[in-house]
Amino acid sequence: MFRWSAITVLFFGIGVVLLNAVNKTTYQKAVATDELVFIPANDDIVAQVGENKVSFVEGNNQPKVEPPVSVTVSRPGVNQPLVIPNARISAMERQEIPAEKDGKLLFVGTDIKPKRDVHPEDIFKLTISRLVVEDDKVSGNDLILLDAKPNKKFRLWKGGDDPLIPGKMSLDYKEATFFKLEVGDEVQKNQMVALVNPVLALDDLGIRAAKLEASEADRRASEKTRDEAHKRFQQQSLLRQKGAGSDEEYRSAELFWRRYIDEETGKAALVVQAQRELNAAVTTLKMHEIRSSIPGVIKTIYRNRGEAIKNLEPLLQVQNRDRLRVEGLVEVQDARTIGRETKVIVEPSQPEQPKLVLRGHLQEVNAIGVCQQNGSTTIFSGSEDSSIRAWNPGNGEQLWSLTLRHPVKSMACYSGKSSQVVSGLSDGSLVFFSPATVREKDAIKTSVSGHRGSVHSVAISPDGEFAVSAGEDHSLCVWKISSTELVQKFPDAHRSGITSVGFAGQSKITTAGKDNSIRVWAFDSGKIEPNYLLSFDKRSGDVAHLAASPDGKTILFDQGKEIRVLSLSDKHIEGVIHSNSGSSSFTNFAVYSPDGKTVITNGGGDGKVQLWRTPINNARPAELRQYIWTGGSSSCCAFSPDGSFAVTGTQDHQVLVWALPNKREVEETLTGTIALNENFLDSNSRQVRIWVDLKNPGWLHPGGMATLVIPGAKSANSTDK
């Protein structure tokens, strides 16, 4: 037994010595013959040899072999923000405006013109009655002149403490113009929104006004009778003092005087009663006017003109959008860490339909570009149907179409002193033309095939002199645009087909390939340097087109359900965009806007195109828009050079134009305050409600969804990645 153990140990030792010798020779040969390229890994610079990474230890010439490591995000283990998705936005203040009288609706409208175009049939006139009072001091817009009393000035009776003085009031009949109200119209506080037929109330108002005048006339007559009785009583008093009058006449005069005093007092009380009855009649008349007690926007109209309505039955709903409430559900263990008055970041999700749908292609749209020159903007689209079409983004008109021999696979546009369009075809050739001269003879030039197979991507240099094409044949080609000359062909730039090429500034080119890598190349005077500067491997490869930022400092990198923003200077991840599309990952494209402040992505299987605020320095990438098109997924995307709109081509043959948010919406971070952290627990879900109140910046709408982010609060379910 001892002998066999000794033999085993001896052979094991010999094997270890031989293995070390072989490994040493292999490593030295690899370092001596294979090309070394630098890739980022954590915070160190290491070299890559084939599929392995090697780093050199100071003072030791032996390389240390490490397995390939992909770039990952550094996430702190503490102070993670608590993220609450699917929170619902609602209006804090809303009102179901009721009728206060039974009757028929004469109109659902207002005397204030809505902020929209109103059709002539939605404008109608109606004679209305209003109570006015005489006032010599009134002027300006408050002055009312009556035809029956041209020498007197009147103003509208204000109600309340404004006295109704008999003889100084009148009914003014005025023809007013009203505009039909529709859902979405804005209304102000106390603005009339409808009128119930007030015929009986108007008659009653006239009766009460006449009764007040009659009561005042009776009071004045009684007052004069009282004064006359007082004079007679005074005369009888003088006669009595002189011994000429009888006691009976004196007592009779005193009786009549005091009687008329009481009668005048009663008549004055009747005047007050008539004033109050008139006031009540005015109030009753006003109750036929249905008014909004809050400012807001009409959400729903329940009754229309000519229909009957009952007392306290709602006519329409108004929502005040100035103050909003966002309601979310949070796990009970997380709710305990949230205090009232805590500041919360609100990230609204805003679905939006295309503002234009351009129809004309017969097959999938593979390529999109936008050119601007001399104030004119043109959209260009290339399709699997072997055509290039030009569109007017203002009205959606197709300007012209060009039929080629092969399907169009890629396109790039340059907007400068001389705009240029370069398209790559499925046979490996390129098409060059200028939008300004495209309709002239021989204005469209087709290059000699530079690739074997499809041209998947084309980019034009910032100075407009060169175009770089990337193909299925793993190669890059550089073209002189003015002469369509092939300046350089760089074969085997990737180990597989190249799906994306773009410029990162004037002196760098970025490429993405089907080998799941991104590479950065030096570009100088129309030539690509043979050795790439950087290589980012182990990406998912679902996003075919990945762009560099306009300033050339960062590049987008797909990794599963994430789009990562990689810095080209220090090789760090500056931010991450997380997919919120359930199980779907990003696909097809991830492109920067011209100012670099937003990124547009394709959301995968759900067909959504999403616009994100660019995450820099690990800031959260708020989703600014969800562009919804249910017909088919978007296959390509481009921005207008001035950043006024985005355009995508779809698999269902359409070209879609999308509106972009304004600068304030892109740059402003919405914050609210926790108004409620509910103490009641849902036993089924073990969640509690929280309310966040915020001021509407002007573009949020009740009924939408939002994500709540509570900085510094660590979710009990969160894990460090």
DSSP-derived pairing of the beta strands 351-352 and 623-628: parallel
pLDDT number for residue 190? 92
pLDDT tens digit string along 642-700? 999 999 999 999 999 999 998 888 888 888 899 888 877 665 667 888 899 999 888 88
35-41: list long-range contacts, CB under 8 Å, 24+ apart: 35/531, 37/531, 37/532, 37/534, 37/535, 38/533, 38/534, 38/535, 39/534, 39/535, 39/536, 39/537, 39/571, 40/71, 40/534, 40/536, 40/566, 40/571, 40/572, 41/69, 41/71
**Which are the contacts of 214, defined by CB distance < 8 A and separation ≥ 6?**
274
Neighbours of 366 (CB within 10 A): 25
Nearest Cα neighbor of 358 from 401, 383, 334, 391 is: 391
The answer to whether residues 144 and 131 touch, using CB atoms and an 8 Å cutoff, is no
Q: How far apart are CA 35 and CA 32, in angstroms?
A: 8
Q: How far apart are CA 550 and CA 665, in angstroms?
A: 21
DSSP H or E stretch at residue 22: helix 2-33
State how far the alpha carbon of 593 is from the alpha carbons of 276, 454, 500, 596, 635, in Å: 68, 27, 17, 5, 17
Strands of 397-461, DSSP E: 398-403, 408-414, 420-425, 430-433, 445-446, 455-460
pLDDT number for residue 436? 81
The answer to whether residues 186 and 167 touch, using CB atoms and an 8 Å cutoff, is no
The 10 Å CB-count burial string (b at 16+, else e) for 441-470 is eeebebbebbbebbbbbbbbbbebebbbbb
Nearest Cα neighbor of 610 from 579, 583, 649, 636 is: 579
How many CA within 13 A on the CB side of residue 720? Answer: 7
Q: What are the backbone angles phi and psi of residue 241, rounded to the nearest 5°?
A: -65, -30
> Which tokens go with 456?
């998947």
> Which tokens go with 128?
């209305």
Residue with tokens 């005040």: 320
Amino acid at 458: V
Q: How far apart are CA 653 and CA 453, in angstroms?
A: 23
Amino acid at 207: I
pLDDT number for residue 361? 94
Q: How far apart are CA 43 and CA 176, in angstroms?
A: 75
pLDDT number for residue 468? 95
Q: How far apart are CA 161 and CA 171, in angstroms?
A: 19
**Which are the contacts of 554, defined by CB distance < 8 A and separation ≥ 6?**
548, 565, 566, 567, 568, 574
Whole-number CA gyration radius for the chain: 42
Q: Please, which residues bridge with residue 648 across strands?
A: 637, 656
How do the domains of the chain map onto residue ranges?
2-66, 93-318, 367-538
67, with CB counted inside 10 A (0-12, 13-18, 19+), is exposed
pLDDT number for residue 413? 94
Q: What is the pTM of this model?
A: 0.70
The answer to whether residues 563 and 576 touch, using CB atoms and an 8 Å cutoff, is yes
Helix axes 247-287, 199-242, angle to 10 degrees: 160
499, with CB counted inside 10 A (0-12, 13-18, 19+), is buried
In this prediction, the residues of the chain whose per-residue pLDDT falls under 70 are 1-79, 441-442, 580-584, 604-606, 617-618, 681-685, 712-721
Strands of 108-229, DSSP E: 109-110, 123-134, 154-156, 169-180, 186-187, 192-196
* 8-state DSSP, 160: T
pLDDT number for residue 582? 57
DSSP helix/strand/coil, 402:
strand
pLDDT number for residue 483? 87
Q: How far apart are CA 111 and CA 125, in angstroms?
A: 10
pLDDT number for residue 449? 78
* 8-state DSSP, 386: S
Q: How far apart are CA 470 and CA 451, in angstroms?
A: 8
The architecture of the domain spanning 367-538 is: 7 Propeller (2.130)
Tell me the DSSP string of 243-258.
T-S-HHHHHHHHHHHH
Strands of 603-686, DSSP E: 608-613, 623-628, 634-639, 645-650, 654-659, 670-677
